Amino acid sequence: MSPKEYILLTPGPTPLPPSVRAKLGEPILHHRTHEFGKIFAQVIADMQYVFRTKATTLMMTCSGTGSMESAVANLLSPGDKTLVHSTGAFGNRFAKIQKAYGIEPMTIFEEWGEAAQPDRLRKLLQATPGGFKAVFFQHTDTSTGVVNDIETLAKVVRENSDALVVVDAISGLAAERLETDAWGVDVALTGSQKGLMNGPGLAFAAVSDKAWKAVLAAKLPRFYFDWRTMKDSLPDQETPYTPAVCMVVGQAEALRMIREEGIENVWKRTDALAEHTRKEVAGKLGLKLFAKNPANILTGAWLPDGVDGNKLLKEMLAEDKISIANGQEKLKGKIIRIAHMGHITKADVDAGIAALGRRLSKVGV
Ligand SMILES: *Cc1c(COP(=O)(O)O)cnc(C)c1O
């Protein structure tokens, strides 16, 4: 079976618009040319539009996690005190990356399905003399489908400390409102394969002036992910090393589409599809929704007791050619996650819900 017959309802990669696929198949350009430089510069400018920032914006050739690691390596020095406000698997990833670099973060663990509580954050900041170098958040935690109130959380950080605000917006960007500059986010991170409607392989970071001061002073080791070399190459419309040229060309087309639609309209469209999906999943299928503060990127729902989620999703993929995401870590086999960001359409979501409904009735639910 050709993979083109699959309906992808996964929170990354998400389906590619036909015009992006066509761009990915074009003859390759050399990366040290004026022609490529112009496309790269346009991608950076369009990313600033999507991030809602005037801050220096960098592109990296890696998946989203690489951008998370780059933030750790570029902002911190040995012995720095940091805080991770974790709402799921991706918050925990931020902590793991820091530990790999010898940093021992303090972590607030929210119960999975709950959003980050500003009051818990405020209390911890006020009870920590000396404060933190940086506080790390997820815009949306894809493992639970929760959206965090970054506007309020960033404000709490600013009012109670000097810490940098670092936000993983890898799944949230171009799906949920994010105002990098207006909300005082120092570093916003994202990847290409979710709301940005491109294949996996590119990541981006918007880095505020305050964060650049930390970058220049930071002592952790870095080479490939050194933001200083990336920034130095920007005036020449280049990257320090060979970028994923084809993905950049594809990204330019996806960003052109986002600009044409308007980022506010992208948020509204995603919001409407999320609302529709939650209604269908809770109403038509009768499943209990997972997140208390559900994001627009995906809908997570509990499977009824006794249903083997691993088996159900495997069969759905093999027989219906529909890919719905499983739960992660402790939620594997227990919840399903239906994505509705990027180029995913209402028809895709409806096909997924119908197939899920048929499979649930087959097992007697
Ligand atoms: C997808 C995702 C990542 C990064 O995953 P990669 O597989 O490295 O692209 C990080 N954080 C969140 C919230 C994500 O959704």
Q: Domains of the chain: which residue ranges?
A: 3-13+262-362, 19-260
The Cα 27–Cα 296 span in angstroms is: 36
Mean pLDDT of 86-99: 98
pLDDT digits (tens, 9 = 90+) for 206-251: 999 999 999 999 999 999 999 999 999 999 999 999 999 999 999 9
Q: Which atom of ligand 1 is nearest to the CA of 200?
A: 9
pLDDT digits (tens, 9 = 90+) for 176-211: 999 999 999 999 999 999 999 999 999 999 999 999
Give nearest CA residue, ligand 1 atom 12. Answer: 170
* Residue ranges in the chain assigned as alpha helix (H): 18-24, 34-51, 64-75, 89-100, 118-126, 150-160, 209-217, 227-233, 245-261, 263-279, 309-315, 346-362
pLDDT, residue 227, reads 98
pLDDT digits (tens, 9 = 90+) for 135-145: 999 999 999 99
Q: Which amino acid is at 286?
A: G
Does 63 contact ligand 1 (Cβ within 6 A)?
yes
Pocket mutation for ligand 1, best pick of 143, 170, 296 (most atoms within 8 Å of C-beta): 170
Does 94 contact ligand 1 (Cβ within 6 A)?
no
The Cα 232–Cα 242 span in angstroms is: 15
**Angle between helix 263-279 and 346-362 (nearest 10):** 20
Portion of the chain with pLDDT greater than 90, in percent: 97
pLDDT, residue 4, reads 60
The Cα 233–Cα 178 span in angstroms is: 27
pLDDT, residue 1, reads 43
Does 142 contact ligand 1 (Cβ within 6 A)?
yes
Q: Which residues lie closer than 8 Å to 66 by C-beta, 6 or more apart?
A: 60, 203, 225
- pTM (predicted TM-score): 0.97
3 pLDDT higher than 60? no
pLDDT, residue 323, reads 97
Give nearest CA residue, ligand 1 atom 4. Answer: 64
pLDDT, residue 5, reads 80
pLDDT, residue 365, reads 82
Does 170 contact ligand 1 (Cβ within 6 A)?
yes
2 pLDDT higher than 70? no
pLDDT, residue 364, reads 83
Task: Identify the CATH number of the domain defined by range 19-260.
Answer: 3.40.640.10
pLDDT digits (tens, 9 = 90+) for 301-349: 999 999 999 999 999 999 999 999 999 999 999 999 999 999 999 999 9
CATH superfamily to which 3-13+262-362 belongs: Aspartate Aminotransferase, domain 1 (3.90.1150.10)
Mean pLDDT of 346-357: 97
Contact 338, 281 (CB under 8 A): yes
Give nearest CA residue, ligand 1 atom 9. Answer: 64
Portion of the chain with pLDDT greater than 70, in percent: 99
